[in-house]
C-alpha cells in the first residue's frame, strides 16, 4: 500500500506538472474563440448590410416599373406596347433579382456561422474558467498524496479507495486532454473556414457594389431612353401610319398614249391587214410569168414582173386603209406622212414575202404564208406584251417582220422616239424585202427547167 501511495504521489506530481499550463492554454483557447466569434459577427453584420442594400435596390427597380409605365402612357403608347416594354425590363432585371436572392442566402448562412462561433466561444470561456480549479485540485491531490504516503500503513484501506479514485481521475484527465485536443483541432478548422468565408464575403461585397453600380446605370439608361422616346403630334402619327400602311405609290409615265382602246389596237390590225391583203392578192395573181420564163427573160426581171402588180395593188390597199383609219375612225397620226410611207414599205415587204413563198413552193408556199400569219398573230405583241409569250416563241418575235411593223406604227401614230423606227424597223423590213426578192429570183431561175410537176401540179389551191 505504501508502494501504491508512492506511485500515486509520483503520478499526481506528473499530472500536476502536465496540467500546470492548462489554465493558460484554456484561456488562450477561449480568447481565440472569442476573436473568431467577434470576426464572424462582423462578417455577418456586413452580409446583413449587403442583403438589405440589395433588397432595397430590387424594391426601387420594382417601383420604377410603375413610373416607366406611366411615362409611356403619357407619351401615347398603347397598353400592349407598355406591357411589351415592361416585359423587356423584367427580363433585364432577372439577373439582379437572382443576385439579390443569392445575397439573402449567403447573409443567412453568415448569421448561422456567427451564432455557432459565439456558442463555441462561450464553451471555451467556461472551460477556461474551470481549468484553474482543476489545476488547483490536481496540485492539492499531489500534496495530499505525500501526506498519504507518510500514513499509508494506517490508511491502507483509504489509500486503496483513493487509488481507485486517482485511476478514475487519470482516465477523466486523459479524456479531457483528448477532448481539448479535438476542440483545438476543430477550432483550427473553424478558423480556416472563417478565413475562407471572410474572403468570399469580401468578394461578395465587391460584386454587390458592382451590381449596384450596374443597376444604377440601368436605371439611368432607362430614364434617358424614356426621355428619348419620340412623342409626335397626332398629325405626324397619322402620316406615319399612312406611310406604313401604304408605303408604295405607283406612278405611270407615258411617252405616248392612245386615246381609246381601239386606237391602241390599230397598229396591230393595220399590220395584219397589210399581210392579209398581200396573201389574198397572190390567191388571184400568178407569182411568176411562165411566158416570160419560157422566153428566156432574166430571172430578176421575171421575179420583179411577178411581184410588181401585187406591190402596186398592195399600196392601193394601204391608201384605202389609211383613209378609213384617219377620216373614218378619227385616228389622227402624230406623223401622218411618215406613217403612210411606212405602211407602203410594210405592204411592199409583205407582198414580196408572200410572192417568194408562192414562187418557190407553189401551193405549199401559200399554206406557209397562212402559217406565218398565225405565228405573227401570237408573237408580234399587238394585243398583249410580247414578253408574256412562251420562251420558245421569243426567237419568232425577233425574226419575223410583223412585230417590228407594229412597234414602229405605234411610235408613228401616237408619238415617241423615232430612233427605233429608222434604226431598227426600216432596216429589218428592207432586209426581208431583199431576201424575198432574191428567193423569187432563184425560183424564176429554177423554173427554167420544166418538170412533170410543173406541167401538171399535184396540188392546186
CA dihedral 70, 75, 79, 80 (to 10 degrees): -130
Report how far residue 274's alpha carbon sits from residue 313's, in angstroms, rounded to the nearest whole number.
Answer: 11
Total domains in the fold of the chain: 2
Average pLDDT, the chain: 76
* Most confidently predicted of 200-204, 216-220, 230-234, 258-262: 216-220
* Confidence band for 145, pLDDT divided at 50, 70 and 90: low
pLDDT at site 282:
83
In a shared domain, residues 220 and 313: no
The residue range of the domain holding 318 is 261-455
Cβ of 179: how many Cβ atoms within 10 Å? 11
Question: Is residue 260's pLDDT more than 60?
Answer: no
Residue with the larger pLDDT of the pair 75 and 187: 75
Question: Is residue 351's pLDDT more than 90?
Answer: yes
pLDDT-wise least confident of 54-68, 140-154, 190-204, 267-281: 140-154
In a shared domain, residues 201 and 91: yes
* Confidence band for 227, pLDDT divided at 50, 70 and 90: low
* Most confidently predicted of 17-21, 383-387, 405-409: 405-409
* Confidence band for 451, pLDDT divided at 50, 70 and 90: low
With cell 405609290, the residue in question is 249
In a shared domain, residues 56 and 201: yes
Report how far residue 388's alpha carbon sits from residue 94's, in angstroms, rounded to the nearest whole number.
Answer: 59
The pTM for the full model equals: 0.43
In a shared domain, residues 283 and 195: no
Q: Mean pLDDT over residues 243-261, rounded?
A: 57
In a shared domain, residues 204 and 290: no
> What cell does 245 get?
400602311
Asked whether residue 233 is assigned to any structural domain, the reply reads no
* Confidence band for 429, pLDDT divided at 50, 70 and 90: very high
* Confidence band for 404, pLDDT divided at 50, 70 and 90: confident
Question: Is residue 202's pLDDT more than 90?
Answer: no
* Confidence band for 395, pLDDT divided at 50, 70 and 90: confident
Asked whether residue 388 is assigned to any structural domain, the reply reads yes
| 288 DSSP assignment | S
Q: Exposed, middle or buried: residue 5 (CB in 10 Å: 0-12, 13-18, 19+)?
A: buried
Residue with the larger pLDDT of the pair 227 and 75: 75
In a shared domain, residues 333 and 437: yes
Q: Mean pLDDT over residues 161-187, rounded?
A: 71
Question: Is residue 254's pLDDT more than 90?
Answer: no
Question: Is residue 279's pLDDT more than 50?
Answer: yes
* Most confidently predicted of 258-267, 275-284, 413-422: 275-284
Asked whether residue 49 is assigned to any structural domain, the reply reads yes
Q: Mean pLDDT over residues 203-219, rounded?
A: 76
Asked whether residue 98 is assigned to any structural domain, the reply reads yes
* Confidence band for 140, pLDDT divided at 50, 70 and 90: confident
Report how far residue 396's alpha carbon sits from residue 81's, in angstroms, rounded to the nearest whole number.
Answer: 60
Question: Is residue 56's pLDDT more than 70?
Answer: yes
Q: Mean pLDDT over residues 324-348, rounded?
A: 87
In a shared domain, residues 103 and 163: yes
Asked whether residue 333 is assigned to any structural domain, the reply reads yes
Q: Mean pLDDT over residues 371-400, rounded?
A: 78
Residue with the larger pLDDT of the pair 313 and 105: 313
Closest to 130 measured CA to CA, from 26, 34, 28 = 26
pLDDT at site 2:
56
* All residues at 6 or more sequence positions from 34 whose CB lies less than 8 Å from its CB, including other chains: 121, 124, 125
Residues in the chain: 461
pLDDT at site 41:
75
Contacts 24+ apart (CB under 8 A), 334-340: 334/256, 334/412, 334/413, 334/414, 334/415, 335/412, 335/413, 335/418, 338/412, 338/418, 338/421, 339/409, 339/412, 339/413
* Most confidently predicted of 57-66, 221-230, 436-445: 436-445
Question: Is residue 388's pLDDT more than 70?
Answer: yes
Distance of CA 453 to the CA centre of its chain: 77
With cell 501504491, the residue in question is 4
In a shared domain, residues 159 and 304: no
In a shared domain, residues 294 and 165: no
* Most confidently predicted of 131-135, 259-263, 335-339, 420-424: 335-339
Residues 18-55: tens digit of each pLDDT? 667 767 777 777 777 678 778 767 776 776 776 677 67
Distance of CA 401 to the CA centre of its chain: 52
Asked whether residue 180 is assigned to any structural domain, the reply reads yes
Report how far residue 404's alpha carbon sits from residue 319's, in angstroms, rounded to the nearest whole number.
Answer: 20
Asked whether residue 382 is assigned to any structural domain, the reply reads yes
pLDDT at site 272:
87
Question: Is residue 152's pLDDT more than 60?
Answer: no
Cβ of 197: how many Cβ atoms within 10 Å? 21
* Confidence band for 294, pLDDT divided at 50, 70 and 90: low
pLDDT at site 214:
78
- Is the Cβ–Cβ distance between 369 and 394 less than 8 Å? no
In a shared domain, residues 390 and 270: yes
Q: What is the CATH number of the domain that holds 208?
A: 1.20.140
Residue with the larger pLDDT of the pair 438 and 454: 438
* Confidence band for 255, pLDDT divided at 50, 70 and 90: very low
Asked whether residue 460 is assigned to any structural domain, the reply reads no
> What cell does 144 get?
495530499
Amino acid at each position: 500500500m505504501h508502494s501504491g501511495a508512492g506511485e500515486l504521489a509520483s503520478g499526481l506530481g506528473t499530472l500536476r506538472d502536465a496540467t500546470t499550463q492548462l489554465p493558460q492554454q484554456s484561456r488562450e483557447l477561449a480568447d481565440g474563440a472569442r476573436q473568431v466569434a467577434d470576426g464572424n459577427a462582423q462578417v455577418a453584420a456586413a452580409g446583413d448590410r449587403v442583403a438589405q442594400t440589395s433588397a432595397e435596390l430590387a424594391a426601387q427597380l420594382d417601383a420604377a416599373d410603375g413610373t416607366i409605365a406611366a411615362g409611356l402612357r403619357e407619351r401615347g403608347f398603347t397598353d400592349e406596347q407598355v406591357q411589351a416594354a415592361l416585359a423587356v425590363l423584367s427580363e433585364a432585371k432577372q439577373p439582379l433579382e437572382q443576385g439579390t436572392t443569392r445575397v439573402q442566402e449567403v447573409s443567412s448562412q453568415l448569421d448561422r456561422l456567427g451564432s455557432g462561433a459565439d456558442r463555441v466561444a462561450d464553451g471555451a470561456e467556461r472551460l477556461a474558467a474551470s481549468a484553474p480549479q482543476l489545476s488547483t485540485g490536481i496540485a492539492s491531490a499531489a500534496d495530499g498524496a505525500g501526506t498519504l504516503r507518510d500514513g499509508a500503513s494506517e490508511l491502507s484501506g483509504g489509500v486503496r479507495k483513493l487509488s481507485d479514485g486517482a485511476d478514475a481521475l487519470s482516465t477523466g484527465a486523459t479524456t479531457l486532454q483528448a477532448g481539448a485536443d479535438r476542440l483545438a483541432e476543430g477550432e483550427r478548422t473553424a478558423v480556416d473556414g472563417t478565413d475562407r468565408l471572410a474572403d468570399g464575403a469580401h468578394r461578395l461585397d465587391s460584386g454587390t457594389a458592382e451590381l449596384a453600380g450596374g443597376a444604377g446605370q440601368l436605371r439611368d439608361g432607362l430614364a434617358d431612353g424614356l426621355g428619348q422616346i419620340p412623342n409626335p403630334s397626332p398629325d405626324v402619327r397619322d402620316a406615319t401610319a399612312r406611310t406604313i400602311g401604304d408605303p408604295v405609290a405607283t406612278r405611270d409615265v407615258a411617252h405616248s398614249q392612245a386615246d381609246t382602246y381601239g386606237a391602241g389596237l390599230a397598229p396591230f390590225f393595220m399590220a395584219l391587214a397589210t399581210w392579209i391583203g398581200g396573201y389574198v392578192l397572190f390567191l388571184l395573181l400568178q407569182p411568176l410569168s411562165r411566158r416570160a420564163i419560157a422566153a428566156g427573160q432574166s430571172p430578176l426581171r421575171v421575179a420583179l414582173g411577178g411581184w410588181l402588180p401585187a406591190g402596186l395593188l398592195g399600196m392601193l390597199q394601204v391608201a384605202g386603209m389609211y383613209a378609213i383609219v384617219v377620216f373614218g375612225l378619227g385616228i389622227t397620226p402624230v406623223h401622218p406622212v411618215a406613217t403612210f410611207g411606212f405602211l407602203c414599205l410594210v405592204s411592199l415587204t409583205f407582198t414580196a414575202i408572200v410572192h417568194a413563198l408562192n414562187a418557190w413552193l407553189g401551193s405549199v408556199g401559200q399554206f406557209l404564208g397562212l402559217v406565218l400569219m398565225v405565228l405573227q398573230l401570237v408573237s408580234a405583241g399587238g394585243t398583249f406584251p410580247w414578253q408574256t409569250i412562251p420562251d420558245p416563241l421569243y426567237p419568232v418575235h425577233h425574226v419575223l417582220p410583223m412585230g417590228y411593223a407594229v412597234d414602229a406604227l405605234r411610235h408613228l401614230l401616237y408619238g415617241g422616239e423615232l430612233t427605233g423606227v429608222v434604226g431598227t424597223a426600216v432596216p429589218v423590213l428592207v432586209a426581208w424585202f431583199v431576201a424575198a426578192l432574191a428567193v423569187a429570183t432563184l425560183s424564176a431561175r429554177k423554173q427554167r427547167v420544166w418538170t412533170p410537176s410543173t406541167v401538171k401540179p399535184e396540188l392546186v389551191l
